[in-house]
Amino acid sequence: MPSITSSPQWNALQDHYASIKDVHLRDFFREDESRGRQMTIEAAGLYLDYSKNRINRQTLDLLINLADSQGLPGKIEAMFTGEKINLTENRAVLHTALRAPKEMSLVVDGVDVVPEVHAVLEKMSAFSQRVRSGAWKGHTGKPIKNIVNIGIGGSDLGPVMAYEALKHFSDRNLTVRFVSNVDATDFAEATQDLDPTETLFIVASKTFTTIETMTNAETAREWLLRSVGGDQSATAKHFVALSTNAEKVSAFGIDTDNMFEFWDWVGGRYSMDSAIGLSTMLAIGPEGFSEMLAGFHEMDQHFRTAPARKNLPVVMALLSVWYSNFFGVETCAVLPYEQYLKRFPAYLQQLTMESNGKYVTVAGEKVDYETGLIYWGEPGTNGQHSFYQLIHQGTRLIPCDFIAFAKSLNPIGSHQDILIANVLAQSEALAFGKTADEVRSEGTEDWLVPHRVFEGNRPSNTLFGESMSPSMLGKLVALYEHSVYVQSVIWDLDAFDQWGVELGKVLAKNIIPELDADGGELNHDSSTNALIERYRKMKA
């Protein structure tokens, strides 16, 4: 198949890029005074201002042509209708079914998945209510006070992020912790002040084979059993599982009655609104969880029905492609001016990079264009006093997504005005900068002028909403999920597999027995052999 880079749509964008790459945002704004009001989209309770991007009115048309040439409208429908768009794993991709209202129907392989989704949601609700009300008793008859989610990747990052994001709506009587790393310190620190007889472990693993999670789950079981004189029957009261693999759950010793199911058509990094969200539901309650699902669904509907130009995920995706493939940009900073979203950038890293960090197309051909931007970020204003220097005056172009809300959930004094003034100031400074003349006119000595000039012309999006809430979180997550998908369609990637994580897992399994002093002869490369030998000596 000819590469997208030889298509007329790509060539048109290249010519267009050559014609506007040196135009400054100052000029774009000078030429069109309505730009800041026109280049905006308002949908599903979110307002996107994308006017501070290095584009003119033609840019989006050309990017939409490119997306259309890759069959975007049909591919959006293909996802929503359950076609097996995860080709390398021959699976449908139906995270949108997880938030489909009860009355919807979606048949995959002859089965309507919506009633199945709602049956699990009801089971989760009943369980959450029992735990939250104290009706669910631990092995010694005490109610549950602590929830520890054990999982990694998609079975951790979404739940952690959602727990932090929705803390304001959480039951503060429950202590909720997360253990992901196989480094024992993670488990030790998460449990050091907990009473095992008041603790419920949620073992979250789609496959129930992930070594980190299974190791932590076994350690948790030993920790519990030590506190109850080794009585194995305690496991049933203190362990539940979230998985697609009933057989493995049962082999671990968890009663499948205490398993909350999901399906192979839910990718790990797209699973925070499936049973994997049980910790979220325990924290914010079933009603809050439903509100979150409704927020997801609202964004799903917007994505499915809005025309490309007015479609939030589509426009954000097109801008990412524009910077990545034409400006040669490598990273995108996500900067939430909302403390509750402090784990959002970390969550997005898996969503974006595990999805689109691929160098072959769906057909297995090596791409001749860049894919998968690197996502990173920190909540504002902390980042301003750290890495923003490089965004303002470094040599690299780093598009930023600013996220902010009008109302604080903790309104105190003038904090919110100061916070919002900062986010607005940052996007203004990045776009328009400060010229040498302006610096000089402030009386700056000549030798210092270059240091104090801000070139500007640094692009950003501003996403603005009313306030953080379960529904808002659902909308935001769905927005980025769909943006990732649109990018993958343009880049012709399978956004739903993750073969790139496999090799390291296999090699680690081989190395584990070799780390023993009598682990036998080593047959790796000389570097790996020497490191293993050193470890064997040092741990002795």
Ligand X SMILES: O=P(O)(O)OC[C@H]1O[C@](O)(CO)[C@@H](O)[C@@H]1O
Up-side HSE of residue 439: CA atoms within 13 Å toward CB?
16
Cβ closest to ligand X, residue 11 vs residue 209: 209
Cβ closest to ligand X, residue 205 vs residue 408: 205
Number of neighbouring beta carbons within 10 Å of residue 237: 21
Cβ closest to ligand X, residue 158 vs residue 399: 158
Q: How far is the CB of 500 from ligand X (least distance, A)?
A: 9
Host H or E run for residue 203: strand 199-204
Cβ closest to ligand X, residue 244 vs residue 483: 244
Cβ closest to ligand X, residue 267 vs residue 380: 267
Cβ closest to ligand X, residue 208 vs residue 376: 208
212 labelled catalytic: no
For every residue of 226-292, DSSP letters joined together read HHTTT-GGGHHHHEEEEES-HHHHHHHT--GGGEEE--TTS-GGG-TTSGGGHHHHHHHHHHHHHHH
167 labelled catalytic: no
For every residue of 4-61, DSSP letters joined together read GGGSHHHHHHHHHHHHHTT--HHHHHHH-TTHHHHSEEEETTEEEE-TTSS--HHHHH
Q: How far is the CB of 84 from ligand X (least distance, A)?
A: 18
Which residues here bind ligand X, judged by CB under 6 A?
A: 152-155, 205-207, 210, 213, 268-269, 354, 498, 501
Q: How far is the CB of 292 from ligand X (least distance, A)?
A: 19
CB-neighbour burial class of residue 296 (10 A; exposed 0-12, middle 13-18, buried 19+): buried
How far apart are alpha carbons 293 and 83 in whole angstroms? 22
- Closest by CA to 268, choosing from 338, 357, 206, is 206
CB-neighbour burial class of residue 152 (10 A; exposed 0-12, middle 13-18, buried 19+): buried
For every residue of 516-536, DSSP letters joined together read STT-----S-HHHHHHHHHHH
Q: Which of 385, 451, 537, 539 is catalytic?
A: 385
16 labelled catalytic: no
- Closest by CA to 342, choosing from 378, 384, 294, 309, is 378
Which residue is associated with the tokens 């989704």?
A: 117
Q: Which of 21, 102, 407, 505 is catalytic?
A: 505
What are the Cα distances from residue 398, in Å, to 320, 457, 480?
11, 11, 18
Q: What stretches of 274-399 adopt beta strand conformation (E)?
A: 331-337, 374-376
Cβ closest to ligand X, residue 207 vs residue 444: 207
What are the Cα distances from residue 14, in Å, to 60, 72, 227, 396, 483?
13, 20, 66, 20, 22
Q: How far is the CB of 365 from ligand X (least distance, A)?
A: 24
Cβ closest to ligand X, residue 354 vs residue 481: 354
How far apart are alpha carbons 438 and 436 in whole angstroms? 5
How far apart are alpha carbons 59 and 35 in whole angstroms? 14
Q: How far is the CB of 501 from ligand X (least distance, A)?
A: 4
How far apart are alpha carbons 513 and 186 in whole angstroms? 23
Q: How far is the CB of 428 from ligand X (least distance, A)?
A: 38
Q: Which of 291, 298, 354, 514 is catalytic?
A: 354
Q: How far is the CB of 359 from ligand X (least distance, A)?
A: 18
How far apart are alpha carbons 14 and 362 in whole angstroms? 24
Cβ closest to ligand X, residue 16 vs residue 95: 95
What are the Cα distances from residue 362, in Å, to 73, 81, 151?
18, 19, 29
Q: How far is the CB of 21 from ligand X (least distance, A)?
A: 37
114 contacts 143 by C-beta, under 8 angstroms: no
Q: How far is the CB of 498 from ligand X (least distance, A)?
A: 5
Provide the annotated active-site residues.
Answer: 354, 385, 505
